[in-house]
Structure 1
Amino acid sequence: MGCFTSKSRFSRKNNRGYTDSLPILNENLRLTEDVIMLFKRGMTIAAPRASAIVIPQKLTDYLRPDNDVDGLTAEIVVRDKSTQETECIRQNVLSHFLFRDLPEDSIDKMIASMNYYILDTNQYIFYQGDSGYNFFIVASGNVEIIVDGHRVKNLGRGESFGELALLHDSSRRASAKTISKVRLWGLGRGTFKLLLKRNNSAKFKENLEFISSTEIFCKLGNVQLESLVLAAVTETFEENEKIVGAGEASTEMYLIKEGEVYIFKNNIKVNTLRRGDYFGEHSLLYGTKRIATAVATCHTVCLCYTQEALRKNLGLLAEKSFYHNPVRISLNNDPLLKKLTPLQNNKIVSFAKIQEITGNLEISPTNTLLIIIKGSLIDLSTLKKWSNLKCIESSELLQENNDKLLNLFAEEEATIALITKDNIEKALGTNLRKRLACNKILKMMNKIYLLRHAPSDRVEALSLLVTSKNVPADSVLFNEGDDGDFCYLVKEGKVRIIKDNKPVNIIGKGDYFGERAIIFSEKRAATAKTIENCEFWLIKHDDFIQLLDHDLEEYLQKKIHLQDVTIKLADIEIIREIEINPLFTIYLVCRKSNGMIYALKSIEKTVVEMAKLGEKLKNDKNIHKKLSFPFISTLVRTFTDSKYLYLLYEYIPGPTIENLVLGNIGFSMDIARFYASIILLTIEFLHSENIIYRALASQSFFIDEKGYPVITNFINAKIIDSRTYSIVGIPYYLAPEVINGSGYTFSSDIWSFGILIYEMLYGVYPFGHCEEDPYNIYKDIIKANLRYPVFIKDSMKPKGIIEQLLQKNQKLRGTVEEVKLHPWFEAISWEDLLVRHVKPKFIPQIKDIDTSKTKSLKSSLDTQGDEIIADMNDLYFGL
């Protein structure tokens, strides 16, 4: 960008915190800097200083956690505090950004939980490099802070230190030593996090369970549900109290959590609403005056939403988000239409027209699908009644030239959705009858591995081209060595697979064979012969190929080769080391038999035990193996022997985005938008799988040989169904809610995404860029306003996207769906990106890899014994 001098670039490169002094945070990581140095030197790690003076039992009932090594020589007393002591502690904690936003009752509980530490003169409270656990306030006496053997500060009564330990298990950056006899108030990380979690989760959980149980919101995703909980304002009304009045300006909608509400029109009661019902949404969304009066009949509690809250949490088009969700629910509830896929369902929903009606309505169910969103309708001929979230006579859509009419009546105001038959066929690409029939084929097609990597819309289009074939028993379908042109899906019957004149397998109903024929031009590897009369669905090679472009075809072929799970550890030879890390080493390796290139991560079991990484590695493996997405690398297989754990990955040859940023001092707007778009699609996919990534950063993405950014690591990812509280990630990218311990969800990834866009454009971080101390980084994130580098003109700012993503209030950032609708992304073709149709402006120059001088894995790593494939009971990997 030309805005930073070479000197500032050099400074950034050498102060890039997380590569030298700020590791990726990991709640289970217990390695201090000293321990890492011992690992590097190959030394044995001595036992910690746990043999220090034992706390006299008669003075305390404090139970020290295993990972608390603070104040080992102290007497620790659990006792009540005087009013004066309580007030002194309160004044101190309220001056810290960590505690400033806590509610009063949480502050009180935190103060009550603090323990009393008594230490003599010249006693170390903790040492530089120790794993921190407690935050301390000096009650009396003096404490000196020592860095690298030099005194840097003297603390007296009322002053505090060690607060960073409350956030995460990081190494102390200084030593603390008593100058005189000292009394301290100490708060442990476990107590602090438990108080935060209890305070934030009780009310949150209650409202989340309630909102999730309502018909109108029950099918929303976790991101939207949790955003709605955060956005809600609780209002209470007493008996006969008016909530809203007819003719008033609409400012809020209400969801009844407790109690009962009467709805009046022209002083006549027209409806009674109870728990889970809602009112006021139509006037709110369309900005019209209230057309009815709502009165509480008893003590009533409502969750209240403003128009801004609805638009922020339900999408930029709140009407669509609010009304389309119940339309989706209704389609899923319908015996016929629930056979549609989510993709087909969403396409139909987009054609829904919303109306509010009272009185009579005449409709042809053969030509129009009517869905009741809210209220009820009665058929005046049969007196049959339909109510909330129901489709009326959907089976009539399958009829042709039927003049049937329904005479319906709404006693009370009802909200309905209308979708014409023509629009349904436009959404499905064919008539409903054929689409439903082809969905049976589609269900079986989704079992085929290579189709999992193709875009869903193309697989659905392919299902319309599948043909049917009946074959009698004892018929040869193809012989070994024949050209392959069909993939066979077995609808009925059984088939024997024969290789070298020997039966090797029997394929039955619901299974498939010959799938490589639809992507590869290769000879049949075996003979297939029917055992009994069979009916097949056939996928033709030419039909599949015509739906692909060259790049997508090449990508699918690569993914199929990577899925070869027959590979063994003994098949692998080392080409060279790619990365050496205190915790693991990554090697560039190849398979001797076919020259296929992989990346192999090896981790010593002693390191895994010492760093307590077993569960993290297992989590990485389990998440990675279940994912199939164009911009996520393939985890091919995992191994273990007596000394090491191994993870075999697809090799992504290009640099990381971080490397490119460092080399270019920021990207052009187009390049940054290209990378951001792909990363956003990846985040969207992960969130749809209930996975929060938690380590989104420029070094998380490698550029593949085609120029696309790819995620390769999931060690900090987590599957969540609600909020989580662990502080995990890279300090510069952490969202405020992660730091303050209030609990966070998918929106924290959205914040990190905003930091990444800023970094890609300007080459620096928006918060804490010049800081190495995590405390100062966190303080800047919590307190500082968003600033742009000097000399950055308005034309170099990306249309407000960064301002939206870096909202301190997480509910204002929006969901991935909202972010995709931002004007900065308006020219992006998301489908073209998914099928790799867009040519990147930067494609890495990949040199040919020399495999002529490889070394055996066993000799290079000095492994002990033969390969052991991990089983379900293995400590680290469950296959």
Structure 2
Amino acid sequence: MGTPSRDRDITMGVSDMKLKSKAKSISAAPLERNVAAARQRDRSKSLAFRRTGVSAEVLTGNEKFEAKVVEKSEVARKRIRACFSKSYLLQHLDQEQSETIVDAVEEVRFKENDIVIQQGEPGEYFYLLEQGSAEVWITKTGENKPIMVKQYVAGDSFGELALLYNAPRAATVKATTDCVLWAVDRSTFRAILMSSTQEKRNLYEEFLKEVPLLKTLDKYERSAIADVLEPEYFNPQQVIIVEGAKGDKFFMLEEGEAEARSQGQVVMRYKRGDYFGELALLNDAPRAATVTAITKCKTVSIEREQFKRLLGKLEDLLHRKKEDYEKVNASVAVSPEDAPANLPDLPQGAEPSGSSSEVVAGGTASYDASPAPSTPRSESGPSG
């Protein structure tokens, strides 16, 4: 972490203005940035900051959080709240938490081609992109050439990974147009968001690890998906997906129980941690079964187009490591004699409604899963 002086500066530098710490009001005038000078200063500090691994930071009862207040007009506050409504990390905060962040955020601006955050440098701010677009570039260990892995547009947010973990920035973010962002300082982010964000991310990442089609994703990619999973709530007997409808969304069941029916027959039951519809990330083939909530259910989901915008086509990710792709491909496609052609769009690990001969230990091209495990998954979800 930086010095107290550094913590009062917006990341990437401040030309003539510094943020005042503690609960003092300061001007909300746009910050001028001397990116080159600030980056050189941060680079020297980052040498002591680098780690070989990452570990989650924890807020303790001994840490004091003093809410910062940056003066801003009511028009600006409305703009900030509009950004909150588009951010999965912020949209579920209660009113008091939201207003604490509205008070603390500072407007920052970048020109086209400016570097917003730099891979390897310490992170001090979480950003909400109000206007403009940006690209994410990663230079992998042992390689010199960075690769572009995703794009941000208005409504997206980024920068939380370095604040959640005691680690440098995992990627470089470069403005592709002139950008207007809102910056949430490290202390405010940790006090308001870190605990709940970390808990949810860990849960969803564990769920994602169980999906055969997503086994080739690295931690950064799983985190990216975990952060944009959209919650949905279903009452008992409410239909989640319909047999024959085009598939465009992948679901994981966070709470409750559900069942799948094909041609009116119950063929699979789902519990916490199970998933269905993952083949929708590959194509829009019709759903092979209707999934209905048995109890009150909470699902989290991602649409295929959103997945592609975040990480590119799933086929490309699967081909990234040929041997992994071949293993995954084998797990989701078996010969016709191994399974009937009309088996539903069902997940690995979900509980069959009958004997193993009714839902064979394998999938077909219409399955959304690979072979079921020999022992059922725990009611409490994945372990580890």
TM-score scaled by structure 1?
0.21
**Greater Cα radius of gyration, structure 1 or 2:** 1
Q: Highest relative contact order (Cα 8 Å, sep 6+), 1 or 2?
A: 2
**Structure whose residues are more often helix by fraction:** 1
